[in-house]
Amino acid sequence: MIKVSSCWHYLGRLKSIAVQLCLLIPVSLEAQSQNGVRYEDLKFETLAFDQPSSEVHTIMEQVKVLFLEDHSLPLVSLFARFRGGTSHFSREEQGAVTAVPMLLRSGGTTQLSPDSINTLLEHYAINVSFGRDGKSSFSSLNTLTDFLDESLSIWELLLTQPRFSREMVQVWQNQELDYLRRSERDPNTMAIRTFNQLMFGDHPTGWTLRPEDLELQHLEPEALRMIHRKIFCQENLILGVTGDTTWPDILPKIHKLIASIPPCKTNLKKIIPIPVTADPGIYLVPNGLPQTTIIIGKQSQVSLGEHNEYFASQIGNLILGGSGLNSRLSNRIRTQAGLSYSASSIWSTPTEPPGVLAAITQTKGNSTAAVITLILEVLQEMVEEPPNYKEVRDAIAEISNGFVFNFQSSGQIVSRQMFYLAQDLPLNWLSTYLERIQQVSVEEVHSTFSENLVSNGSEDMIIVVVGDRSLFEAELKQLGKVYLVAPK
């Protein structure tokens, strides 16, 4: 315990130290603050950006391998991306397509049980991961250089000889069913699922996993193996390697890995054409919560690629709602009206449109109609009035200043370039992206909004509202036609 007298002595010493520090401060400090150069007036030479790039090799005449040497740490990372995801399979196969990548890690191999795999990964300090998206399935391996051979042998077994243990299939099934039950009570998940289904209809983008998709009859080992054979085959593969190795050293190991992956026996089906969206209107998903979740949006035909409207959409999204508190949506709804903690926007730009241009927010139930009106006003203003020069300049600066975080590791560089290669984009896409972003003009942003939004903001919009209908349904009917939707 510190005595009171000791505390006073300690404080006295602090005062003495503070006096000494004050004496050390230059007398001209005040003059410097008055007459010094302001930060706005500082001038710097333009930074030259030289993007690190991978070497591109072709193995066995068909598999692209991206390689980037990096000896900063005694680690090697490998990335495998296979064309083939939920978009390439039927609605009835969605449970199996979702299960396969996850069970490659947890389901064991034909030679090793799941417990044996876990023991080996822990013994060699190996990190492996598996995942999938709408168009591809992927895996990564990170290992110490000294254990590269052992790690590749284990990874090869996981990729090529899955066991799909019934026990682990049931474990995964129970985990997914539990997630679905919990998500049924989450208003944000309900809103997003409903919006996607209304926006894309009977198309993989609009599908959500259902309990009936997880019935064991859809997850039989042979059904899982059939999906695995269609996706995890040579013609679908792009491989990336980075870390503490050289190309002559890694080449024979990579060749052995690729040779162990069988050729594709069947071609993946073409993605189903996206049908017409639901009719514009207000779609109400009732629940008992006093807070309302709102999504307002429509399809967008802007695609990812080297054309002006893509880069303008990136800047436009930041101005609309993608830049946090500085955006128009946040300023209008949060700062001025005080009706929401946050309001944001998304402008997705897939290589094969349509994407989505949408605004998202939450508010208290009795403010629902007022917030919808404010969002529609902001969208209409984006068409009628071009953004000012400062908004565009600030959005460009935000992207440019955060650009360095795309290159924090060699692994990040390789995995990004693999994605670009899979999207038929050039490997120097990030350099191109930064250069073109910095050239976006006020007129291009305004033109892109005008092409993607009508002058009457609500005329072709789908509005999803999740909340307590008793608090706002009468007001919603004054804004437009209201459709009652069962929770998704």
Question: Looking at the domain assignment, is residue 439 inside a domain?
Answer: yes
Looking at 230, 260, 290, which one is the last position of a domain? Answer: 260
Residues 291 and 220 in one domain: no
Q: Per mean pLDDT, which range of 363-372, 436-445, 452-461 is the poorest?
A: 452-461
| Residue 488 predicted with pLDDT over 60 | yes
Question: Looking at the domain assignment, is residue 434 inside a domain?
Answer: yes
Helix-strand-coil split of the chain, %, nearest 5 = 50, 15, 30
Beta-strand runs (E) in 217-327: 237-243, 281-286, 291-300
Kindly indicate the confidence band of residue 58, based on its pLDDT and cuts at 50, 70 and 90: very high
Q: Nearest Cα to 443, choosing from 347, 315, 327, 322?
A: 315
What's the chain's average pLDDT? 88
Q: Per mean pLDDT, which range of 13-17, 89-93, 343-347, 360-364 is the poorest?
A: 13-17
Residues 204 and 128 in one domain: yes
Q: Per mean pLDDT, which range of 41-55, 262-276, 303-317, 437-451 is the poorest?
A: 41-55
Residues 230 and 351 in one domain: no
d(CA 70, CA 145): 12
Query: Radius of gyration of the chain from Cα atoms?
Result: 28
Residues 256 and 287 in one domain: no
153-189 pLDDT tens trace: 999 999 999 999 899 999 999 999 999 999 888 999 9
Average pLDDT of span 474-482: 94
Estimate the crossing angle of helix 94-106 against helix 166-183, to 10 degrees: 120
Strand partners, 138: 81, 131
Residues 339 and 230 in one domain: no
Q: Nearest Cα to 126, choosing from 137, 142, 139, 112?
A: 142
Q: Are 67 and 57 in contact (CB under 8 A)?
A: yes
224, 226, 230, 234: CA torsion to nearest 10:
90
Structure tokens at 254: 């990579």
Question: Looking at the domain assignment, is residue 12 inside a domain?
Answer: no
d(CA 104, CA 124): 19
Q: Nearest Cα to 166, choosing from 90, 222, 97?
A: 222
Residues 221 and 286 in one domain: no
Residues 245 and 329 in one domain: no
Q: Nearest Cα to 415, choosing from 142, 86, 60?
A: 142
Give the H/E segment covering residue 227. helix 221-231
CATH code (residue 477): 3.30.830.10
Average pLDDT of span 58-66: 93
Question: Looking at the domain assignment, is residue 391 inside a domain?
Answer: yes
Instruction: Report the pLDDT value the prediction gives residue 268, as an integer from 0 to 100.
Output: 86
Instruction: Report the pLDDT value the prediction gives residue 277, as an integer from 0 to 100.
Output: 86
Question: Looking at the domain assignment, is residue 23 inside a domain?
Answer: no
Question: Looking at the domain assignment, is residue 2 inside a domain?
Answer: no
Residues spanned by the domain of 198: 55-260
Looking at 260, 295, 322, which one is the last position of a domain? Answer: 260
Q: CA quadruple 330, 468, 471, 455: dihedral positive or negative?
A: positive
Question: Looking at the domain assignment, is residue 45 inside a domain?
Answer: no
**The pTM is what?**
0.84
Residues 226 and 362 in one domain: no
Looking at 260, 294, 329, which one is the last position of a domain? Answer: 260
Residues 302 and 254 in one domain: no
Residues 299 and 206 in one domain: no
Q: Which residue has the higher pLDDT, 405 or 468?
A: 468
How many domains does the chain divide into? Answer: 2
403-439 pLDDT tens trace: 877 777 889 889 989 998 888 888 888 889 999 999 9
13-55 pLDDT tens trace: 433 433 333 333 333 434 444 556 675 677 766 655 566 778 9
Residues 83 and 162 in one domain: yes
Question: Looking at the domain assignment, is residue 22 inside a domain?
Answer: no
Residues 256 and 370 in one domain: no
Q: Is 125 left (phi over 0), alpha (psi -120 to 50) or beta?
A: left
